[in-house]
Amino acid sequence: MNKTWIIFKREYLTRVKKKSFLLLTLLTPLLFAGIMFLPAYLANRESQEEHKVAVLDRSALFLGELNDSKSTNFHFIQQEEFDDVKDNLKDNEYYALLEIPENIISANRVIVYSHKQINLDVKNHIDDELEGNLENKKRTELIERVGVPDLEEQLNNTRTSISVETIKLTEDGKGKKGSTEIAMGIGFAAGFLIYMFVFIYGSMVMRGVTEEKQNRIVEIIISSAKPIQLMMGKIIGLAAVGLTQFLIWVILMGGIFIGAKSMFIDEDAMQQMAQSQSVMMSNNEATAQIMENIEPDKIQQFYEQIQGINFTQIIFLFLVYFLLGYLLYSSLMAAVASAVDSEEDMNQFMIPITVPLIAAIIILTNVIKNPEGSLAFWASHIPFTSPIIMMVRIPFGVPWYEILISIAILAASTFGAIWMAAKIYRTGILMYGKKPSWKELGKWLTYKS
């Protein structure tokens, strides 16, 4: 049996079988989903609760004019009741007490008393209702005063709202709904995930090599297998662990995504949306009309736009960039780990290796705002940053030849790094006692095996 394979198997199985791996792999998506959906879920629940708000209207402008909402009920009270309600807010039926002053039109301010800090929904509703009411009143008064009969209508006509709908044209001329925000989100997630994977699994390689060297098991193993087999078995084994984790995440996230979809969106709306989409393909004019009628809410829009993204391409390129980037960095880390005896000496060599990785994360925020800029272009071609930066750019759309060139440069550099690492590793793994210099590492490259 091939020895690299035997080593690969050990590296893979010992890690995948660990409880901590299983726990982390299974819990992360759940945690992630929790962070995403829990606030929405809670907000949803909260708003179903009714809050009774007592209103003392000294201006006498609003009696019967304030509309209740799902969560807020207005209940007008008299001046005599005011003190009683205010003093007993803690125990009585009212959630809050709204006091509208006589001079509300000029003062533009009201007071809300409550025992607890009132929630945002209630506050917003009070705000909206009062504003809307006052605005209407002022406008009616104004129209009466100036005497232009259709002023109301004219004013309404000046109101403008533009919805910017981005449609990305694909090669075959078909339009696709896109969203800058979602591309940003996915780009950021993909870039950051690569950064994390490379960092976490690269340091696992490093720790593995250090462990073998410090345990002195390396001498036993390389009297059975070649150093390069040990190094590559370890690196590839850990890559497989990373891919396994990623795969489980993709499957779990997909499950959560679909589950959440059915929870938040009812079937009818989905069907309508599908119809509108098919109509849009053939007739853009008519679509506008239909879209206006349906008025899809935010979540639906989100799902619609997410469906416009080519996940197959993104996942495929993610795997390519993850593997190449990981191989590039982990082979360098393996080389460094093989050369030094102690963790302290490691830092001197680790810093130059991690600097480009961290630089990529810093560049990332810039690239995400301007994915077509020259910084983005160069950073997505330089092999040390390209795995992260190119992944950020891809959801925005990158010409295929740019991707190809970037992958080619990265692959060539990775190959070179592995070659170099193998040479350093072979010598370093058996060197004990002294801290080598960069110059010495360079010399090892020229040693005969």
For residue 220, state whether it binds other proteins (rule: CB under 8 A). Answer: yes
For residue 211, state whether it binds other proteins (rule: CB under 8 A). Answer: yes
For residue 343, state whether it binds other proteins (rule: CB under 8 A). Answer: no
For residue 1, state whether it binds other proteins (rule: CB under 8 A). Answer: yes
Site for other proteins in 172-201 (CB under 8 A): none
For residue 159, state whether it binds other proteins (rule: CB under 8 A). Answer: no
Token pair for 334: 């393996």
Contacts of 445 (CB under 8 A, 6+ apart): 420, 423, 424
For residue 223, state whether it binds other proteins (rule: CB under 8 A). Answer: yes
Using the minimum distance from each CB to other proteins, give the nearer residue, 7 or 273.
7
Using the minimum distance from each CB to other proteins, give the nearer residue, 61 or 222.
222
Given 31, 200, 430, 445, the residue binding other proteins (CB under 8 A): 430
Site size for other proteins (CB under 8 A): 24
Q: Which stretch binds other proteins (CB under 8 A): 2-10, 176-184, 270-278, 282-290?
A: 2-10
Given 6, 184, 189, 320, the residue binding other proteins (CB under 8 A): 6
Using the minimum distance from each CB to other proteins, give the nearer residue, 109 or 443.
443
Q: Which stretch binds other proteins (CB under 8 A): 212-220, 308-316, 328-336, 337-345?
A: 212-220
For residue 443, state whether it binds other proteins (rule: CB under 8 A). Answer: yes
Q: How far is the CB of 416 from other proteins (least distance, A)?
A: 24
Using the minimum distance from each CB to other proteins, give the nearer residue, 338 or 385.
338
Q: How far is the CB of 23 from other proteins (least distance, A)?
A: 17
For residue 225, state whether it binds other proteins (rule: CB under 8 A). Answer: yes
For residue 216, state whether it binds other proteins (rule: CB under 8 A). Answer: yes
For residue 278, state whether it binds other proteins (rule: CB under 8 A). Answer: no
Q: How far is the CB of 196 from other proteins (least distance, A)?
A: 24
Cα distance between residue 312 and residue 316, in whole Å: 6
Using the minimum distance from each CB to other proteins, give the nearer residue, 13 or 105.
13
SS (H, E, C) the chain: CCHHHHHHHHHHHHHHCCHHHHHHHHHHHHHHHHHHHHHHHHHHHHHHCCEEEEEEECCCCCCCCCCCCCCEEEEECCHHHHHHHHHCCCCCCCCEEEEECCCHHHHCCCEEEECCCCCHHHHHHHHHHHHHHHHHHHHHHHHHHHCCCCHHHHHHHHCCCCCCCEEEECCCCCEEEECHHHHHHHHHHHHHHHHHHHHHHHHHHHHHHHHHHHHCCHHHHCCCCCHHHHHHHHHHHHHHHHHHHHHHHHHHHHHHHHHHHHHHCCHHHHHHHHHHHHHHHHCHHHHHHHHHHHCCCHHHHHHHHHHCCCHHHHHHHHHHHHHHHHHHHHHHHHHHHHHCCCHHHHHHHHHHHHHHHHHHHHHHHHHHHCCCCHHHHHHCCCCCCHHHHHHHHHHHCCCHHHHHHHHHHHHHHHHHHHHHHHHHHHHHCCCCCCCCCHHHHHHHCCCCC
For residue 14, state whether it binds other proteins (rule: CB under 8 A). Answer: yes
Q: How far is the CB of 218 from other proteins (least distance, A)?
A: 9
Using the minimum distance from each CB to other proteins, give the nearer residue, 129 or 212.
212
Using the minimum distance from each CB to other proteins, give the nearer residue, 222 or 270.
222
Q: Which stretch binds other proteins (CB under 8 A): 60-68, 215-223, 352-360, 366-374?
A: 215-223
Cα distance between residue 190 and residue 394, in whole Å: 9
For residue 294, state whether it binds other proteins (rule: CB under 8 A). Answer: no
Q: Which stretch binds other proteins (CB under 8 A): 1-9, 100-108, 282-290, 381-389?
A: 1-9
For residue 221, state whether it binds other proteins (rule: CB under 8 A). Answer: yes
The string over 240-278, giving b where at least 16 C-beta atoms fall within 10 Å of a residue's C-beta and e elsewhere, is: bbbbebbeebeebeeebeeebeeebbeeeebeebeebee
Q: How far is the CB of 198 from other proteins (least distance, A)?
A: 25
The contact set with other proteins (CB under 8 A) reads: 1, 3, 6-7, 10, 14, 211, 214-217, 219-225, 430, 432, 443, 447-449
